[in-house]
């Protein structure tokens, strides 16, 4: 174990779970306001709002919704793109369309902006494709020269940290390189290294060498401070990748102020980040976890049950599901995925599940609908994406079948939660209330949604401990028992 690893391991383990003071956050918010600068987050699944509160997410990027989203006094606007569930061509088209519409609306409203491409803290997603498309479109539409894109996968709420240019996950009492986890074996977005300069080289298929990647180290941040980080940022040109190391929010806040300083010098940057950086650069203060009463519909506290939809197949999700079913009273309904993928059996299985679910919710039972845990893999990435889409479409059909409004809805998994939001609930704009647990955001559906003014708990597939879902549902149950 090298000296840097030993030092950072001790710091992370000593401080994990502690609430620290972030004295720079107010300075960040003030600078954003002074510059009328908006941070527009293109979120490739709805879990990216897992660190923020009292800002909005829109699921449509037509000009009407962009105007509404960019016209308020908030520093941050999220746009749910759901591109992680699409292939490269559709992903390219979506990003181009969004940027072109943003450019038009920003000119109408006379606002300056930066684009954050929010993606997975375990390094999955369409990189470098999305960054390249955004850069090209901004260059075409505004003649912008992008100096660099910051790679910031640190996500403290999910126990993900970056130091020595390597990205780690806390697993129990161990720090594990993300390349040694199940996430690196993703059937669509897999990778072989957690050393980020080499990860960039791998993802760009050698087009960018590891030596060409700029890095901002922990020492640069803590010893050099804002001036040193700004110096590195000012040296970037031609959209060079810039790896940012960070082990806590104070690290990110220093980087955020340096970014704003560099922007003031005329530089332009893109960002490929996990969720923690958005909270920092957005100047968003901490907020306590939501109470049980804030997570259930106000007009439906006692009548009907809540709904949990589980589509993620990660081991973490399966363990959490098992803990939930074994520890507290919920009604479990399993969906047979093999039948769903078979055109001859799909409708019968869908009808069975919908009928059971409707009655269970009417009976006041909190009900978990989940896909069978056997992972069915195809021979190609394209076919695997198609399988995921068919399964997710089934979960959407189940939510849309509801004739009664549950007291809350929770969706587990990135693709699942996105499709339930946009297709099942038909959300166009939602307010982010806060978090049910660390890294687990709660949205309030709007008046346009199919089920109006209902808390929607978005639970990422790769977040939480074994008992996190159980703890949230137990908190809600205890409210009813009072």
Written as one string, the DSSP assignment of 308-366 is EEE----HHHHHHHHHHHHHS--EEEEE-HHHHTSTTTHHHHHHHHHHHHHHHHHTT--
Confidence of residue 413 (pLDDT cuts 50, 70, 90): confident
Percent of the chain with pLDDT over 70: 97
pLDDT given at position 225 = 97
Provide mean pLDDT across the span 269-295.
96
Radius of gyration for the alpha carbons in the chain, expressed in angstroms and rounded: 22
For 458, other C-beta atoms within 10 Å of its C-beta total 32
State yes or no: pLDDT of 385 exceeds 90.
Answer: no
DSSP 85: G
pLDDT given at position 299 = 73
pLDDT given at position 23 = 87
- The rounded Cα 281 to chain-centroid distance in angstroms is 16
- CATH of 292-481 given 1.10.1040.50, 1.20.120.430, 3.40.1280.10, 3.40.980.20: 3.40.980.20
pLDDT given at position 301 = 52
Whether residue 78 contacts residue 49, with contact meaning beta carbons closer than 8 Å, is answered with: yes
pLDDT tens-digit map of 59-101: 999 999 999 999 999 999 999 998 988 899 999 999 999 999 9
User: What is the spatial distance between Cα 123 and Cα 116, in angstroms, rounded to a whole number?
Assistant: 15
User: What is the spatial distance between Cα 129 and Cα 384, in angstroms, rounded to a whole number?
Assistant: 19
pLDDT given at position 172 = 82
User: What is the spatial distance between Cα 338 and Cα 387, in angstroms, rounded to a whole number?
Assistant: 10
User: What is the spatial distance between Cα 245 and Cα 43, in angstroms, rounded to a whole number?
Assistant: 21
State yes or no: pLDDT of 315 exceeds 80.
Answer: yes
* Bridging pattern class, strands 269-273 and 331-335: unpaired
State yes or no: pLDDT of 345 exceeds 60.
Answer: yes
Whether residue 274 contacts residue 153, with contact meaning beta carbons closer than 8 Å, is answered with: yes
pLDDT given at position 12 = 81
- Sorted by sequence, the CB contacts under 8 Å of residue 362 that are 6+ apart come out as 304, 305, 404
Domains 3-281 and 292-481 agree in fold? no
User: What is the spatial distance between Cα 102 and Cα 413, in angstroms, rounded to a whole number?
Assistant: 28
Whether residue 318 contacts residue 372, with contact meaning beta carbons closer than 8 Å, is answered with: no
Confidence of residue 262 (pLDDT cuts 50, 70, 90): very high
* Element at 112 (helix H, strand E): strand 112-118
pLDDT tens-digit map of 178-198: 999 999 999 889 999 999 999
User: What is the spatial distance between Cα 352 and Cα 286, in angstroms, rounded to a whole number?
Assistant: 44
pLDDT tens-digit map of 116-157: 999 999 999 999 999 999 999 999 999 999 999 999 999 999
pLDDT given at position 468 = 95
User: What is the spatial distance between Cα 443 and Cα 409, in angstroms, rounded to a whole number?
Assistant: 10
Lowest mean pLDDT among 40-49, 98-107, 132-141, 269-278: 40-49
**SS3 (DSSP) at 199:** helix
Q: Which residue has the higher pLDDT, 245 or 316?
A: 245
State yes or no: pLDDT of 386 exceeds 70.
Answer: yes
pLDDT given at position 207 = 97
- Sorted by sequence, the CB contacts under 8 Å of residue 284 that are 6+ apart come out as 25, 29, 51, 52, 53, 54, 55, 75, 76, 278
State yes or no: pLDDT of 17 exceeds 70.
Answer: no
Whether residue 339 contacts residue 346, with contact meaning beta carbons closer than 8 Å, is answered with: yes
Q: Which residue has the higher pLDDT, 104 or 22?
A: 104
pLDDT given at position 463 = 84
What are the residue ranges spanned by the domains of the chain? 3-281, 292-481
pLDDT given at position 418 = 85
* Bridging pattern class, strands 409-412 and 455-459: parallel
Query: CA angle at residue 92 from 426 to 202, to 5 degrees?
Result: 120
Provide mean pLDDT across the span 110-119.
96
User: What is the spatial distance between Cα 89 and Cα 98, in angstroms, rounded to a whole number?
Assistant: 14
Percent of the chain with pLDDT over 90: 77
State yes or no: pLDDT of 481 exceeds 70.
Answer: no
Lowest mean pLDDT among 146-155, 219-228, 272-281, 314-323: 314-323
DSSP 375: P
State yes or no: pLDDT of 165 exceeds 70.
Answer: yes
User: What is the spatial distance between Cα 316 and Cα 157, in angstroms, rounded to a whole number?
Assistant: 15
- CATH of 3-281 given 3.30.9.10, 3.20.20.120, 1.10.1660.10, 3.40.50.10840: 3.40.50.10840
Provide mean pLDDT across the span 410-433.
92
State yes or no: pLDDT of 462 exceeds 60.
Answer: yes
For 50, other C-beta atoms within 10 Å of its C-beta total 29
DSSP string, 256-286: HHHHHHHHHTT--EEEEE-HHHHHHHTTPPP
Whether residue 82 contacts residue 393, with contact meaning beta carbons closer than 8 Å, is answered with: no
Whether residue 292 contacts residue 478, with contact meaning beta carbons closer than 8 Å, is answered with: yes
State yes or no: pLDDT of 381 exceeds 80.
Answer: no
Mean pLDDT for all residues in the chain: 92
């Amino acid at each position: 174990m090298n000296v840097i690893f030993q030092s950072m391991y001790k710091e992370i383990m000593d401080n994990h779970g502690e609430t620290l003071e972030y004295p720079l956050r107010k300075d960040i918010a003030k600078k954003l306001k002074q510059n009328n600068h908006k941070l527009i987050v293109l979120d490739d699944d709805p879990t990216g709002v897992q660190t923020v509160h009292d800002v909005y997410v829109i699921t449509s990027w037509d000009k009407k919704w962009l105007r509404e989203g960019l016209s308020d006094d908030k520093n941050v606007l999220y746009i749910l793109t759901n591109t992680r569930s699409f292939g490269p061509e559709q992903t390219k088209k979506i990003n181009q369309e969004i940027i072109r519409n943003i450019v038009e609306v920003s000119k109408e409203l006379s606002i300056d902006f930066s684009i954050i491409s929010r993606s997975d803290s375990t390094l999955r997603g369409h990189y470098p494709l999305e960054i390249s498309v955004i850069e090209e479109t901004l260059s075409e539409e505004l003649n912008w020269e992008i100096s660099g894109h910051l790679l910031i996968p640190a996500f403290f709420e999910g126990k993900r940290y970056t130091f020595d240019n390597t990205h780690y996950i806390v697993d129990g009492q161990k720090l594990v390189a993300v390349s040694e986890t199940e996430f690196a074996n993703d059937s669509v977005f897999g990778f072989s290294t957690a050393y980020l300069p080499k990860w960039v080289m791998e993802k760009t298929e050698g087009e960018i060498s590891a030596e060409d990647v700029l890095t901002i180290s922990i020492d640069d941040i803590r010893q050099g401070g804002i001036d040193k980080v700004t110096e590195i940022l000012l040296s970037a040109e031609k959209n060079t990748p810039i790896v940012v190391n960070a082990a806590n929010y104070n690290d990110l806040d220093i980087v955020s102020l340096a970014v704003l300083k560099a922007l003031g010098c005329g530089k332009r940057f893109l960002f490929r980040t996990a969720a923690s950086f958005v909270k920092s650069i957005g100047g968003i203060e901490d907020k306590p976890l939501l109470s049980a009463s804030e997570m259930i519909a106000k007009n439906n506290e006692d009548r009907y049950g809540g709904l949990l939809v589980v589509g993620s197949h990660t081991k973490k999700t399966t363990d959490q599901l098992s803990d939930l079913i074994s520890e507290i009273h919920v009604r479990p309904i399993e969906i047979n995925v093999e039948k769903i993928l078979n055109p001859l059996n799909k409708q019968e299985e869908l009808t069975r599940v919908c009928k059971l679910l409707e009655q269970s919710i009417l009976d006041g039972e909190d009900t978990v609908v989940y896909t069978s845990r056997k992972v069915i893999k195809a021979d190609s990435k394209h076919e695997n994406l198609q399988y995921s889409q068919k399964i997710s479409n089934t979960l959407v059909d189940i939510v849309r079948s509801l004739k009664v409004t549950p007291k809350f809805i929770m969706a587990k998994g990135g693709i699942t939660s996105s499709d339930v939001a946009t297709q099942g609930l038909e959300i166009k704009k939602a307010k982010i209330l806060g978090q049910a647990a660390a890294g687990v955001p709660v949205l309030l559906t709007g008046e346009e949604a199919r089920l109006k003014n209902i808390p929607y708990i978005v639970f990422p597939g790769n977040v939480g401990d074994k008992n996190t879902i159980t703890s949230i549902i137990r908190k809600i149950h205890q409210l009813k028992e009072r």
